[in-house]
């Protein structure tokens, strides 16, 4: 009897397998520069080297921003092609390259859509508030989103609040956002004082159950970025970390580079028992349909 009991204890209850966790790196964003951190990558070559370090630390997706010659935010297809080529030279297909369409108060929806129509990237982020600011934009947005679906571009829809999420779901329900699957990025703490995020900031987004076909991720501001990412991991989501929104480790110290922020989250996943996604698993998680 003791021997049988030992066998049962060793086997234990069957645990449902986790889906692999997609850890995304956002190494620079649109506004920060060397004055904010000397290791923040600005040029395409710097971004490519940082991408390789983040990949080695566990990232499977690179959220890509490019800059002009003066270091300013840029939406330009050729600049994206050149930067993407440098990333591919460093890591091959080991990272999804996801380009941003962020307006930063500079670009209009028509320019954001024109960029993706010309570039046809593997993946891109689009903010619902920017591309569909009101109902008058819905018809043109519907045509654009349908075109991206046909081109198999993995769009990730950015929402800043539960209200934004509800609007995205309404657009999806009415066919403005097409397809059987949708990838959503929750931005935590965007409107808090000092833009500091806490894991509890996820609660409003998750108060209404996740819909069939929705894959969700999050990004956060401040030293609890890693805690927010691990909370998302424990709840079945995915996460984006990096200097775009945060430069601090969990203890409040300044991270040496983006790879340190990626590695911090990757290490925490071990306690959850959730595996890291490689690029192929990430592509399966964010695939359009």
pLDDT for residue 5 is more than 50: no
Question: Could you tell me the CA-to-CA distances from 196 to 154, 192, 220 in Å, in that order?
Answer: 29, 6, 8
**Is 1 part of any domain?**
no
pTM for this model (two decimals): 0.93
**Predicted confidence (pLDDT) at residue 8 exceeds the cutoff of 60:** no
Parent domain of 177? 19-286
Q: What is the CATH number of the domain that holds 211?
A: 3.20.20.70
How confident is the model over 181-204, as pLDDT tens digits?
Answer: 999 999 998 767 778 999 999 999
116 exposure class (CB count in 10 Å sphere: 0-12, 13-18, 19+): buried
Is residue 215 within 8 A of residue 182, CB to CB? The reply is: yes
What pLDDT score was predicted for residue 195? 85
Whether 261 is in a domain gets the answer yes
Please tell me the predicted confidence (pLDDT) of residue 57: 98
Long-range CB contacts (< 8 A, 24+ apart) of 32-36?
32/243, 32/244, 33/71, 36/243, 36/247
pLDDT score, position 16: 66
Does 6 reside within a domain?
no
**Domain assignment of residue 127, yes or no:** yes
Query: pLDDT at residue 15 above 60?
Result: no
Share of the chain above pLDDT 90, in %: 90
Average pLDDT over residues 10-26: 78
Output phi, psi for 212, to 5 deg: -60, 130
140 assigned to some structural domain: yes
What pLDDT shows up at residue 194?
A: 78
Asked whether residue 5 is assigned to any structural domain, the reply reads no
Tens digit of each residue's pLDDT (9 = 90 or more) over 47-74: 999 999 999 999 999 999 999 999 999 9
Q: What local confidence, expressed as pLDDT, does residue 100 receive?
A: 98
How does the average pLDDT of the chain come out, rounded? 94
Number of domains in the chain: 1
Distance CA 161, CA 15 (A): 33
The pLDDT confidence band at residue 3, using thresholds 50, 70 and 90, is very low
The proportion of the chain whose per-residue pLDDT surpasses 70, expressed as a percent, equals 94
What would the two tokens of residue 17 be? 């397998």
pLDDT at 7: 38
Query: Which DSSP string do the residues of the chain spell out, in sequence order?
Result: -HHHHHHHHHH----PPPPPB-EEE--STTT--TTT-TT---SHHHHHHHHHHHHHHT--EEEE-EE-TTS-EE--HHHHHHHHHHHHHHHTTSSEEEEE---TTT--HHHHHHHHHHH--SEEEEEHHHH-SSGGGHHHHHHHHHHHHHTT-EEEEEESSHHHHHHHHHHHHTTSS-SS-EEEEEETTTTSGGG---GGGGHHHHSSPPPTTEEEEEE--STTHHHHHHHHHHTT-EEEESTTT--B-TTSPBPSSHHHHHHHHHHHHHHHTPPBP-HHHHHHHH---
Q: Can you name the residues that pair with 124 across neighbouring β-strands?
A: 99, 155
Q: Which of 15-24, 114-123, 204-213, 276-285 has the lowest mean pLDDT?
A: 15-24
- C-beta separation of 26 from 243 below 8 A: yes
């Amino acid at each position: 009897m003791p021997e049988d009991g030992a066998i049962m204890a060793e086997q234990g209850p069957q645990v449902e397998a986790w889906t692999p966790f997609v850890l995304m790196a956002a190494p620079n964003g649109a506004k920060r520069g060397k004055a904010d951190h000397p290791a923040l990558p600005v040029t395409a070559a710097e971004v490519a080297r940082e991408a390789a370090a983040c990949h080695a630390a566990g990232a499977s997706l690179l959220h890509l921003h490019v800059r002009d010659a003066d270091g300013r935010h840029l939406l330009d297809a050729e600049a994206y092609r050149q930067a993407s080529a440098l990333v591919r030279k460093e890591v091959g297909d080991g990272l999804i390259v996801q380009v941003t369409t962020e307006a930063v108060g500079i670009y209009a929806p028509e320019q954001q859509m024109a960029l993706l129509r010309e570039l046809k990237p593997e993946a891109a982020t689009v903010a619902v508030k920017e591309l569909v600011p009101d109902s008058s934009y819905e018809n043109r947005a519907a045509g654009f989103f349908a075109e991206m679906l046909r081109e198999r571009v993995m769009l990730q829809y950015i929402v800043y609040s539960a209200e934004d999420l509800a609007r995205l779901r309404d657009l999806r329900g009415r066919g403005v956002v097409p397809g059987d699957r949708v990838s959503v990025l929750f931005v935590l703490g965007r409107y808090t004082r000092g833009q500091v995020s806490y894991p509890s900031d996820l609660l409003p987004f998750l108060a209404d159950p996740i819909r069939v076909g929705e894959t969700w991720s999050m990004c956060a501001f401040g030293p609890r970025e890693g805690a927010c990412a691990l909370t998302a991991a424990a709840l079945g989501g995915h996460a984006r970390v990096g200097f775009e929104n945060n430069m601090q480790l969990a203890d409040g110290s300044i991270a040496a580079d983006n790879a340190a922020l990626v590695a911090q989250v990757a290490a925490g996943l071990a306690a959850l028992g959730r595996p890291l996604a490689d690029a192929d698993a990430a592509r399966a998680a964010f695939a359009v349909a």
